[in-house]
A and B are shown apart, each in its own frame.
Chain A
Amino acid sequence: MPLDADDITRLYRSHAPGLLRFFAHRTLQAEVAVDLVAESFAQAFAHRGQFRGRAEVDADAAAWLYGIARHQLGKYFRRGVVERRALARLGLERDAMTEADFERVEEMCGLDEKRDAIERGLAGMSKPQRDALALRIVEERSYPDVARLLGISEQTARTRVSRALRVLAKSTEQLSGSPGIAA
């Protein structure tokens, strides 16, 4: 059953905070997270006709909305910029962010804490592990590329990245707002 503007408004009220955390935890940037929330809801309105769940069931609508959110996040990671296609179609532009906005996002999502935890995690791993992690995760190189660039075997590259991720996971697992659908 397609959604209408009232359904999207209801979704916004119930899921905008969770979606903001979802994006903030993954991008660690308040402004990007706000833009992604805005574009996701504009996309939800643009594609409201494609919703096949039951509009009155919050879980159906939430799952659909988070599907859109993941898609937007993927596009952001691939291109490095937030898509604004649906916002432009609706003629929408969000207000400029003030200091209060940044503070609120940081407070809601514990971004400072998260950044600190990641810094701690990076500091707690060896340089070879950090290099392997940067090449594989940040630069999105393939394992054969990582191995070639570091002058090691592909198996060793996989082991270093795996160990580095484990260190990082350990340093961030104690955070209250660790990523998750309901975050």
Chain B
Amino acid sequence: MLPEVDLPPVLCSFELKLANAMRVAESRAGARGRPRTSLAAALCVGLTAVAVLAFLFATNGAQETSSASAAPLLRAAAVAALRAPSLLPRENQYIYVREIGRVPAGMSTRQSVSLTAVEKVVTDRWYSVRRGSLERARILSVAFASPLDARLWRENHGQEPGAAHSFRGPAPRWYVFIGGRNGELSRRQLLALPGDPRNLLERTLGGSPAALAWLSSLPGFTAGHPSTQTTYTYSYSTVTGRLPANDGFAYALTAFSSIEQDFRQVTLPARVRSGLYRALAIIPGVRYAGMRRDLAGRLGAEIIFNDRAHEVRDELIFDPATSALLGERQVTTHYNVGFPAGTPLEDVAFLNEAVTDGTHIPHASPRIH
């Protein structure tokens, strides 16, 4: 049973801290008790593991997604984002990102497309406005659903674990989906972005009258202080009957997807990052799905958005206490491009981010944004 009311942000972030502390305490207690573990206990653990594996096999990795309002946790993250340092390199410096991802690979046969392998890949990326970009990826492991899949994979196009590739790309601008042309902003434009969630949403949706009218109809949006333009547009649309033709889902999807992309950009001023968390709290359909571990095993709060247009569920795992985005997943909700419901099409954990002067891997450092 999930709470029907929004707790104050301080108690939302406390939930995360409590969950972490309890896990640590339980694992310590478990470690102390290990030498006395009896054969029966070992058998119990084994049976539980088998049951979990059987469950995962039966559900194909799909998770229960009972959900509640995401607003309190997003507000907590918004407050934390204001305290977190921002990574804003000079134009001749690089932003470095390391991520680990699990990518399913399908294989076409005459009958159908089926899931045959899952690659686990670690990727290092460097971006510099003046000096271009570099990406290095290495396959850590490949898992197969069956020996036949493994054989087919190797005979056709599969890459073995350890295989690496690198790719040099052109110099990017700061790529943020907030009202820039094709998402690209200059550094000056990036620094001039507002922190107000309503303004960010207006810019993200491009400022069309229909989009603004939809925004104005959102409870969280009108509860604040909408801009004069928004108020005027909404009043005009109401009087003339020109309200958005759809139910707003397309706008919600656009806003969520854009913000999801923006969070992957590390070059966001703190107030913009904070504003984006608040903007997420306004978007209808964004729900809290509970505490989840990311691909790297870190515990965070998960918010979800069901993208019914593409039959996938977008999931973001973040730490409300620091505002760090830990990971992202995109999971099929129905049979989709050859993958059964519950298959993670994308499962990424963001491990490290830093500003570097060259394309070298920096020493391990705490994750900041």
Interface residues of chain A, those whose CB is within 8 Å of chain B, are 4-5, 8-10, 12-14, 16-17, 20, 34, 37-38, 41-42, 45, 58, 90-98, 100-102, 104-105, 108
11 A–B contact pairs at CB < 8 A?
Answer: A5-B19, A9-B19, A12-B18, A16-B7, A17-B7, A34-B8, A37-B11, A90-B21, A91-B21, A100-B8, A101-B9
Complex contact A13–B9 (CB within 8 A) = no
Chain B residues with CB under 8 Å of A105's CB are: 8
Minimum Cβ distance to chain A for residue B339 (Å): 29
Minimum Cβ distance to chain A for residue B294 (Å): 17
Chain B residues with CB under 8 Å of A41's CB are: 18
Given A45-B22, A104-B8, CB of A12 within 8 Å of CB of B1: no
Chain A residues with CB under 8 Å of B290's CB are: 13
Complex contact A17–B5 (CB within 8 A) = yes
Q: Is B15 an interface residue (CB 8 A)?
A: yes
Q: Is B236 an interface residue (CB 8 A)?
A: no
Select one of B9, B15, B19 contacting A16, CB under 8 A: B15
Q: Is B121 an interface residue (CB 8 A)?
A: no
Per DSSP, chain B at the interface is: helix
Complex contact B10–A34 (CB within 8 A) = yes
Find the B residue at minimum CB distance from A46: B25
Find the A residue at minimum CB distance from B72: A104
Find the B residue at minimum CB distance from A48: B22
Complex contact B25–A104 (CB within 8 A) = no
Chain A residues with CB under 8 Å of B18's CB are: 8-9, 12, 38, 41-42, 45, 90, 92
Minimum Cβ distance to chain A for residue B146 (Å): 33
Chain A residues with CB under 8 Å of B15's CB are: 9, 12-13, 16
Q: Is B190 an interface residue (CB 8 A)?
A: no
Chain B residues with CB under 8 Å of A104's CB are: 6-9, 72
Select one of A4, A13, A93, A108 contacting B26, CB under 8 A: A4
Total interface residues on B, CB under 8 Å, equals 30
Minimum Cβ distance to chain B for residue A174 (Å): 21
Select one of B4, B6, B17 contacting A94, CB under 8 A: B17
Give residues of chain B (4-38) contacting chain A, Cβ–Cβ below 8 Å: 4-11, 13-15, 17-19, 21-23, 25-26
Interface residues of chain B, those whose CB is within 8 Å of chain A, are 1-11, 13-15, 17-19, 21-23, 25-26, 68, 72, 75-76, 79, 290-291, 321
Complex contact A38–B19 (CB within 8 A) = no
Given A12-B15, A13-B2, A92-B17, CB of A5 within 8 Å of CB of B7: no
Q: A5-B19, A13-B1, A92-B21 are in contact. List 13 more A-B contacts (CB 8 A).
A: A4-B26, A9-B18, A12-B18, A13-B2, A13-B15, A14-B3, A17-B3, A20-B11, A95-B321, A97-B10, A100-B79, A104-B6, A104-B72
Given A8-B18, A10-B1, A12-B18, CB of A45 within 8 Å of CB of B25: yes
Complex contact A58–B22 (CB within 8 A) = no
Minimum Cβ distance to chain B for residue A60 (Å): 14
Find the A residue at minimum CB distance from B25: A90
Complex contact B26–A38 (CB within 8 A) = no
Whole-angstrom CA separation of A34 from B10 in the bound complex: 8
Minimum Cβ distance to chain B for residue A134 (Å): 31
Nearest first, the 10 A-B pairs at minimum CB distance are A5-B22, A104-B8, A14-B1, A90-B21, A101-B8, A101-B10, A17-B5, A94-B14, A17-B3, A13-B2
Find the A residue at minimum CB distance from B82: A98
Chain B residues with CB under 8 Å of A4's CB are: 26
Whole-angstrom CA separation of A140 from B68 in the bound complex: 43
Q: Which of B1, B8, B68, B79 has the most C-beta atoms of chain A within 10 angstroms of its own C-beta? A: B8
Q: Which of A90, A92, A104 has the most C-beta atoms of chain B within 10 angstroms of its own C-beta? A: A104
Chain A residues with CB under 8 Å of B14's CB are: 37-38, 92, 94-95
Chain A residues with CB under 8 Å of B5's CB are: 17, 108
Complex contact A5–B8 (CB within 8 A) = no
Find the A residue at minimum CB distance from B291: A9
Minimum Cβ distance to chain B for residue A56 (Å): 12
Whole-angstrom CA separation of A103 from B11 in the bound complex: 13
Whole-angstrom CA separation of A95 from B1 in the bound complex: 25
